[in-house]
Amino acid sequence: MELTTVWFTLIAVLWIGYFCLEGFDFGVGMLLPILAKDDTERRVMINTIGPVWDGNEVWLLVAGGATFAAFPEWYATLFSGFYLPLLLILVALIIRGVAFEYRAKHDDVTWRRNWDLAIIVGSFVPAILWGVAFGNILRGVPIDPDLEYTGGFFNLLNPYSLLGGVMTLLLFLTHGAIFISLKTDGPIREAARSLAVRVGVGAAVAAVVFLLWTQIHTGDVASGVAFVLAALALVGGLAAVLVGREGWAFIGTFAAIALGVAGLFLALFPDVMPTSLADGVSLTTSNASATHYTLTIMTVVAVIFTPVVLAYQAWTYWVFRKRIAVEHIPATVGAPSTIPAG
């Protein structure tokens, strides 16, 4: 197997990890105003992802860095053509991260409400724009013979890519609701489980339409198999929710997102950014890649450090595996600690 194919596969794996893990983060953030009735319940929901959300974002950073190093032409064209949506995603992720850190710094209702809004918006914007971005990559964008993007922002707003945004939004909401039902107890757990079924039906419809459209447009046998398995996993996850098996339900939505993203990359290969122009040139794993020497050095580094990162993240999830309920939340937020006299 050529190193260009190896790195295309590794980048696909990184995006799979990012969407599967950060997907439920986004879902939890978007569901704050829906599932939480008061500040204590909002704190319960935020604490379910508190130890892991920043680790989940590492997958995005590594995916971006790997793309820059392994396929510099892809990286350059992607970030120049998708500058505005990617900037909006970046700003949303920054605001969201700051909100997680600063929400509990001051014991004031207005202060916490404003940061809660930042978490909600900072989760909603990437959840829909990532689907729009990947929809445009699969559909094809105007790339001229000089490998330059010649379109504008409104070229990115088309029915196919917007459907992709709706699909990722609903999938992440479903994934997040199931994660909340898996990680909490009491009324929040019951409400999240009920909501997961209702939103999951819409997510299944959007996913089937989008994946079928993709398969007709650019798919092959491998992508078709992945899409069918993704649909079955999603249906299985929703069925598990109905019988109260949150663990199996989470595995189902996790597998559905993983198989769906894998199918999208299979449908894209060997292109990395196809052109929509008749006289344009598509970016492929061959004409967009770095030198063989660069890919060789990157492969050695990846083989050494990837298992370490995966082991650390797995350990983090194991340590914080227990459920959280309202009774586990202290009565005050941001209050100074009191040291007994003597």
Closest CA to 204 of 157, 160, 236: 236
CATH number of the CATH domain containing 243: 1.20.1630
pLDDT of residue 1: 64
Closest CA to 108 of 44, 39, 33, 32: 39
Look at residue 4 and tell me if it is in a domain. no
pLDDT of residue 332: 58
pLDDT of residue 341: 40
Look at residue 342 and tell me if it is in a domain. no
Single-letter code of the amino acid located at 331: A
What are the per-10-residue average pLDDT scores of the chain (342 residues)? 90 94 94 89 90 88 92 90 91 93 86 92 95 91 84 84 95 95 90 93 94 90 94 94 91 95 93 87 89 92 88 88 81 46 38
Look at residue 153 and tell me if it is in a domain. yes
CA atoms of 29 and 3, how far apart (whole Å): 38
Residue for token pair 């249906």: 235
CA atoms of 204 and 197, how far apart (whole Å): 10
Residue 190 backbone dihedrals phi, psi, to 5 degrees? -65, -45
As for how many domains the chain has, the answer is 1
CA atoms of 70 and 166, how far apart (whole Å): 30
pLDDT of residue 154: 78
Burial of 335 (0-12, 13-18, 19+ CB in 10 A): exposed
Look at residue 152 and tell me if it is in a domain. yes
pLDDT of residue 97: 92
pLDDT of residue 335: 44
Length of the chain: 342
| Residue 226 near residue 259 (C-beta atoms within 8 A) | yes
Look at residue 52 and tell me if it is in a domain. yes
Look at residue 5 and tell me if it is in a domain. no
Domain limits for position 281: 17-328
Closest CA to 161 of 143, 139, 185, 188: 139
Pairing of β 283-284 and β 271-273? antiparallel
CA atoms of 190 and 88, how far apart (whole Å): 34
Look at residue 1 and tell me if it is in a domain. no
Look at residue 9 and tell me if it is in a domain. no
